[in-house]
Chains A and B, each alone.
Chain A
């Protein structure tokens, strides 16, 4: 029994509710928190298997080198070591990784480096020992002779004719390139009053969840079955990938994902390590746990760096006639996700604006940068950043206000649902209204008047605007747009299992990892409404378990939870409800229509009272089979699926990459110190439209949290490399995350335009801040630095980078002369 005060009850937090249903729409306190605040999070590293052994991995100190010799004899002889496996040995018994989206696929990329290393931090060998300390000692005893190879540190170097190749079996370092055109660009550019061009850059940064990768795997040699626990955001795919890599039938793999200590896309890349650790367990027969160190996690799996050449054709009132974009991206050397960053940009390529004519060309290039992963928002933050920078720049060149140029171009609400030039469907929204609210909240006009006055007092204050679309729910397979073959996946859907257990408890397995976004609470709210029961009668499983029904791409990403996951849970729950009522009616000899779930039991209109408790219902359904209606199957367990109906098949002239489109405006006021050139945020306003809000407390946290991660990317965080592509940022002392001191107080307001194409009208919220903030912050700092007449084309806007930008300007000389 639960102790008092521990009971799982959905209690409203001290916030106003917005809905009249039992649960949905209310800021009920999170059920997850009851585990967390007691230190019972139950993360992957908290699980200990019997006879637990530990792995450690030797990482390459070079970015590009041939492995001439590996000597593991000292490591093998260390007491406590049970296995040492080199990449070269692993390559003999595993299959190489292939490209998902790229049109060419290397054949030499294995889960550990084989003949050569291609980035600093690439796994070279692995050790299993009786303790984590011994495993690490053994790694230090492995001797490797490397022959350094010329390093490719930039897109330009990679594209040179005689450039050394990252993959020698390929003709070029360019892994994939493509060109799309929608509408009549030629005419748009001919008719334009003004053409504005620039090159906008994006740097390497990443979301760095506080929990690193953890894998705990046991290959049972008596049953030839693999059981693995992992911090995995896309376990559905991992099962298939590990199966293909190690040659274990997928039916013999059980993958469990306990609650994850932060996902942010980073944990889509863990599968390679699930394969490595599983292989170690297969070889040594022990349960093997590996906990990635922070340094290992900073080596690799970042957002890619690159740049975009943008050309805007504009009328003199600011109206956009056409946009040409050419995207160059250094995908590092994990062709596995090459093209994903570029192609997903179609989801928000036109932002909140009408762009009738659009051209997009992209190039993904292999370099000795470390591999990339689909970090929070994937290509969308950069897309929004580049677009919003161009909006500011266009305003400047046309001599109109930055707010005005946006107003001229917003998709008008009466055109909803609006289809963009490439076929993305914006299902609902009122962009001008969201914008107007944000202008008011931030007192935009006040600041526009005030800033010149402050400048006269020697203060560099600026205000900036960012508007963006936050797409959610991937129509999977979009990354095959450049490939002729069929994608492994398409569409957007999920599966879920809902049952009433033999004790009358309603059990839900949503079968997507719980990554901290409140899924257990939300599902409890929704299921509570369907069965009209209290939270204490509902048990939502916070594990993904591949033993339950799931899709091949099951995972928690692309903001799909509130859409297809809830859809699957609701479909299963309703089917289960109907089945339970049929059994009850037959058992009680009452008309089916007279029965319903009410207040935690089964209620009869005729009898005007509760006629069965859930426990009684379970007893009948699991045991008293002769009272069933004809044809009814025993038990109370339903596995069901759901598909979002608005995904289109992929035709190059008309496709939708994502299915929901939240939007937001961020307005930021910044002051730049003239002593240190450090920018400080004075005010931060967000108006966000994420469709219907199911739990305001959760949504607020996600909107603010994602914004904080964007502020980190805009002002502080960058992975730095020297000329040899050595990563110089391998601790949090060098890779600067913003703390509570740097993140400002954020004023947030929600606007609700329900999505017509999701089960409860929700849209995305977990990536929005990361997408919109980059442009807003840059806009504000540029505005603050207006006297220096500089353009911000890249991030992060550190004091040093500001100083480099302004140090040769007249204003700077004037200022320093005056001092």
Chain B
């Protein structure tokens, strides 16, 4: 057992955990933030994607003890404290970019990262960058629409 301190969405979570505790289980079961999902437990599907110090990671592939003292952002961080939806959230809703929604948190976190990392992405590039995130429902087209739109909204806001 090890005591870890992990900052999630700006809030500190501290717990005495088994060393083998996966980060995704820490987020879901210890911090009780259920927006991050598990779709495969083998690092393929991206449902568990969160940001670790602003970089997207698959939280089923990391032990919680590995990120002791670090900072994590999950889907719950996107909404403003005033209840205002983020650019990514708005765009996904506008474009019907989800059906069951099980994959959505992972896609939103990837989008959050992509639109800040790259000033411009073609549809083909978006598709390539999203290949680590599976969606079994939508066929991806409306997700690509949403990412494009989120990028535009982000760029418009900056300029």
Contact = CB atoms under 8 A, between A and B. Distances in A.
Interface of A: 3-6, 13-14, 27, 29-30, 32-43, 45-46, 48, 132-133, 207-212, 259-264, 291, 293-295, 515-518, 697-698, 700-702, 704-709, 731-733, 737, 739-741, 743, 745-746, 769
Contacts of A41: 34-35, 37, 101-102, 104
Given A39-B74, A39-B75, A743 B141 contact: yes
A38 B89 contact: yes
Given A43-B37, A515-B100, A37 B89 contact: yes
Which 3 pairs of residues, A with B, have the shortest CB-CB distance? A39-B35, A516-B100, A3-B83
Interface stretch (B42-50, B61-69, B113-121): B42-50
Given A41-B102, A209-B100, A210-B47, A13 B95 contact: yes
Interface in B1-52: 18, 20-21, 25, 28, 32-42, 44-45, 47
A697 to B, nearest CB: 4
A4 B18 CA distance: 41
Contact of B44 (A39, A707, A733): A733
Contacts of A39: 33-36, 74-76, 105
A37 B83 contact: no
Interface in B112-155: 123, 126-128, 130-144
A260 B141 contact: no
Looking at A293, A516, A709, which has the most chain B CB atoms within 10 Å of its CB? A516
B15 to A, nearest CB: 13
A264 to B, nearest CB: 7
B34 A46 contact: yes
B99 interface: yes
Given A5-B83, A209-B136, A702 B99 contact: yes
Nearest to A31: B93
A619 B44 CA distance: 54
B57 interface: no
B9 to A, nearest CB: 10
12 contacts: A33-B98, A41-B35, A43-B37, A45-B28, A45-B38, A133-B20, A294-B39, A516-B100, A518-B99, A704-B141, A706-B139, A739-B134
Contacts of B34: 39-43, 45-46
Contacts of B20: 133
Interface residues of B, number: 63
B149 to A, nearest CB: 9
Given A697-B95, A702-B99, 9 more contacts: A33-B92, A41-B34, A209-B136, A262-B99, A291-B38, A515-B100, A732-B42, A740-B144, A743-B139
B136 A700 contact: no
A741 B131 contact: yes
B99 to A, nearest CB: 4
Nearest to A297: B40
Given A517-B99, A705-B138, A294 B40 contact: yes
B136 A29 contact: no
Contacts of B76: 38-39
Nearest to A711: B139
A703 to B, nearest CB: 9
B100 A260 contact: yes
Contact of A739 (B92, B96, B130): B130
Contacts of A6: 83
Contacts of B39: 210-212, 294
Contacts of B78: 37-38
A34 B142 contact: no
B41 A293 contact: yes
A516 B84 contact: no
Contacts of A732: 40, 42, 44-45, 134
A209 B92 CA distance: 20
Contacts of A14: 94
Given A36-B104, A133-B18, A740-B130, A5 B135 contact: no
Contact of B139 (A262, A517, A707, A733): A707
B99 A705 contact: yes
A5 B99 contact: no
Nearest to B94: A13
A808 B101 CA distance: 47
